[in-house]
Homo-oligomer: A and B are copies of this chain.
Amino acid sequence: LGTRTPGNKGKTGARRAPAGHPRTRRAPVTIRDVAARLGLSITTVSRALDGYGDVAAATRTRVARAAAAMGYVPSSAARRLRRNRSDIIGYILPASGGRFSDPFFSEFIAGLGDEVTARGFDLLVSTAQPDTEAERLLYTRWVSSRLVDGVVLGRMRLQDWRVTYLAASGLPFVAHGRTRQREKYPYIEMDSRSGFASLVAHLAARGHRRIAYIGAPDAITLQAERYAGYCDGLAAAGLRLDRALVATGDLTRPGGYEAARRLLERGEPPTAIIGVNDLTAVGAMRAAHERGLRVGTEIAVAGYDGTEDSAHTQPPLTTLKQPTYETARRLVGMLVAGIRGEELPEREIIVKPQLIVRESTGGA
């Protein structure tokens, strides 16, 4: 039954009729068009373009020239189906619905974008509020429709379903930060714990005794780490942990502002405030200014991240600087290695943040 549709090789020649609209899309040129033009088989064209060794040099150049002249570019869809990979990496921003302006993420995405491109991949980005159904939907859709070859995880949680899920699914992934789970995976983590300890030491050396901390929700790994560092620092300086000096923000400027206001309204207000990140610290600085406190002399404020903006606050912000852009690039490198099935020399990388003392804590 059915000799294979005899004689209708016209398939290649007769493309879809152009629609009535003037600005309609031309049907793209396929590998068959190139082959037909040259009187070669599509096999040969494919192999010539992919640089296989068993193609005559003359043929290769002929094909390359024709392909370029005709503007042939392989269909990513067909290629993807055939090769069973998409050359796309996914990343989900922890934000949804409304304002979101953390320079950390611009820098992180810039790093992902640059490295991904350098490696011949593309970057799929989406947004979802952490630990919501929407987030779960996004990841599962990406994974089970095989839309992405791997994902980069950010802002890890102590218990993070993403790790469990991805490990089980077998999709390669890397993360910026760790969890408290047993699964092993490649990551880059900042040693923010020792960083925050050194920040406290710095402030204690400046004579501060009531050092406040504005953190983030407990479920987030970075909060656990940084808070632990804060506690370490207090202990090392011989200071007692005063729960009244510990507040919770949400990693945003307004969150830091509100938390700092509450701290400063207290009978015995702190003389120094450490923010879990720079945004929180910036909010705290504003609260201090509003109370008429001179930041840097009457009260010290410090943060964490060290993105460009921290150098341009008034006064400039003391901070722990992490190499955000570079970390993003390295993560992509690790992920691509994982996708290619290569062994990684280092699967678990710890980076020390760098203490940058500026005027917000009295200057160097």
Chain A residues at the B interface, C-beta cutoff of 8 Å: 23-26, 28, 71, 73-78, 80-81, 84, 86, 88, 93, 95-107, 109-110, 113-114, 116-117, 122-128, 134, 138, 141, 144-147, 167, 169-171, 252-254, 257, 282-283, 285-286, 289, 295, 307-309, 311-316, 325
Instruction: Give the oligomeric copy count.
Output: 2
Kindly provide the distance from the CB of A163 to the nearest chain B CB, expressed in whole angstroms. Answer: 13
Q: CB-CB < 8 A to A170: which residues of B?
A: 23-26
Q: Is the CB of A257 within 8 A of B23?
A: no
Q: CB-CB < 8 A to A314: which residues of B?
A: 285-286, 289, 295, 313-315
Q: Can you add 9 more A-B contacts, CB < 8 Å, to A73-B144, A125-B125?
A: A26-B170, A76-B86, A76-B145, A78-B81, A93-B113, A98-B110, A100-B110, A110-B127, A123-B125
Choice from B25, B124, B253 contacting A169 with Cβ under 8 Å: B25
Choice from B25, B77, B171 contacting A171 with Cβ under 8 Å: B25
Q: CB-CB < 8 A to A73: which residues of B?
A: 141, 144-145
Q: CB-CB < 8 A to A254: which residues of B?
A: 308
Docked CA distance A339–B141 (Å): 22
Q: Is the CB of A81 within 8 A of B75?
A: yes
Q: Is the CB of A124 within 8 A of B123?
A: yes
**If the complex has contacts A25-B170, A71-B144, A170-B23, are A117 and B101 also in contact, measured as CB distance less than 8 A?**
no
Q: Is the CB of A124 within 8 A of B124?
A: yes
**If the complex has contacts A308-B99, A314-B289, are A127 and B114 also in contact, measured as CB distance less than 8 A?**
yes
Q: CB-CB < 8 A to A84: which residues of B?
A: 77
Docked CA distance A357–B274 (Å): 30
Choice from B122, B141, B145, B146 contacting A124 with Cβ under 8 Å: B122
Kindly provide the distance from the CB of A25 to the nearest chain B CB, expressed in whole angstroms. Answer: 4
**If the complex has contacts A81-B78, A170-B23, A283-B312, are A107 and B113 also in contact, measured as CB distance less than 8 A?**
no
Q: CB-CB < 8 A to A252: which residues of B?
A: 308
Docked CA distance A356–B23 (Å): 42
Choice from B76, B128, B171 contacting A146 with Cβ under 8 Å: B76
